[in-house]
Amino acid sequence: MSAHYRAVNWNRQKFIYDGLALLAVVSFIALFAGTSLMRNPTLTAETVLIRGLGLAALVLLHVILCIGPLARLDRRFLPLLYNRRHLGVLMCILALGHATFAVVQFHALGDRPMLVSLLTSGGHVAQPANFPFEWLGLAGLLVLWLMAVTSHDYWLAVLSPRAWKALHMLVYVAYVLLLAHVALGIGQDGVSPAFIPALMAGAVLVFGLHLVAALRERRRDEAVVADEAGWVDAIAVADLPLGRARTAVVRGERVALVRHDRGISCVTNVCRHQGGPLGEGRIVDGCLTCPWHGYQYLPESGTSPPPFTEKVATYRVRIVGDRVQVHEVPNSPGTHVDAAVAP
């Protein structure tokens, strides 16, 4: 975390993450190009590149949308989640490349401006089989571009976390638009219809994972009940490693329990920066550190160390036997609560 905005706070993990992502994309496009030319040597290099960039962007979009529910189902996917925005920017670059080559290839040599040609040379909106699929692709691309250019923390601060999150939830709108764009494009361009079942399988995978993760969390949440005094049995002491945080549910809200050198403390699970999951973080320099972008909070007060001013709500904690219990009523953000010490 920095007191000032920087272009990118690079570290070794980010270099490895981005390097592997770029290598995977280049390998995918190369494999696709080789396979396509082997099956149909008459294809032009431009056509292969247009299809390869588009397919790589679509596959990467599926990966991005699957990371969230997979991380909720299995913590081993969390490393992919922490730098997911990097994948989003890479996916947008691929989609822009696909669109640029397609527009130049099919609309640059006419007597009208390329964008005008793109928007007016398609099919008819009243005929589903001839619907101008280019419109759907352009709309989806605009959403992806808007998300990419606002991915930096500067825009998060300017727009506010709530507005920024709402904007980036439009990725699901872009996903539906791009699925329709590809499906209609396949039907109108004479591409093998075998891709349609693959598109359907991808959509089932994305929405299926989200549904499974939501149902699992709902069942877990409904099983949590406070006693008459308002205390909720949250977790076993042995299941809370030193220096690590875990999530629990208190009155329908996620909280973050963390074990540090002074005992066990509890704060809300929602980071003030971007709504990151504090319950998936760890202790760094005595502070609970959000795994997404490194924002830090003192576990006993929920306040960020100076010069930062962020505060999160805290909860009272007690230990009964070998169990950690949390009181269901949160304290005001920044309220100090003594840590519970295991006997």
For residue 21, what are its two tokens?
A: 């992502």
| Co-location of 54 and 179 in the same domain | yes
CATH number of the domain encompassing residue 264: 2.102.10.10
| Co-location of 158 and 44 in the same domain | yes
The torsion angles phi and psi of 36, rounded to 5 degrees, stand at -65, -45
Flag whether 261 is in a domain: yes
Inform me whether the pLDDT recorded for 1 exceeds 50: no
Lowest mean pLDDT among 121-135, 173-187, 253-267: 121-135
Inform me whether the pLDDT recorded for 29 exceeds 80: yes
Flag whether 3 is in a domain: no
| Co-location of 181 and 237 in the same domain | no
Would you state the pLDDT for residue 343?
67
- Give the tens place of pLDDT for each residue, 133-152: 888 999 999 999 999 998 87
| Co-location of 25 and 129 in the same domain | yes
What is the Cα–Cα distance from 156 to 163, expressed in whole angstroms? 8
pTM exceeds 0.85, yes or no: no
Average pLDDT value for the chain = 85
Inform me whether the pLDDT recorded for 4 exceeds 60: no
Flag whether 96 is in a domain: yes
Kindly give, in sequence order, each residue whose CB lies less than 8 Å from that of residue 285, ignoring residues fewer than 6 positions away.
296
What is the Cα–Cα distance from 176 to 302, expressed in whole angstroms? 39
Q: Report helix, strand and coil shares of the chain as percent, to nearest 5.
A: 55, 15, 30
Inform me whether the pLDDT recorded for 3 exceeds 70: no
Flag whether 337 is in a domain: no
| Co-location of 208 and 258 in the same domain | no
Inform me whether the pLDDT recorded for 2 exceeds 50: no
Residue 45 belongs to domain spanning: 12-220
Would you state the pLDDT for residue 67?
92
| Co-location of 132 and 264 in the same domain | no
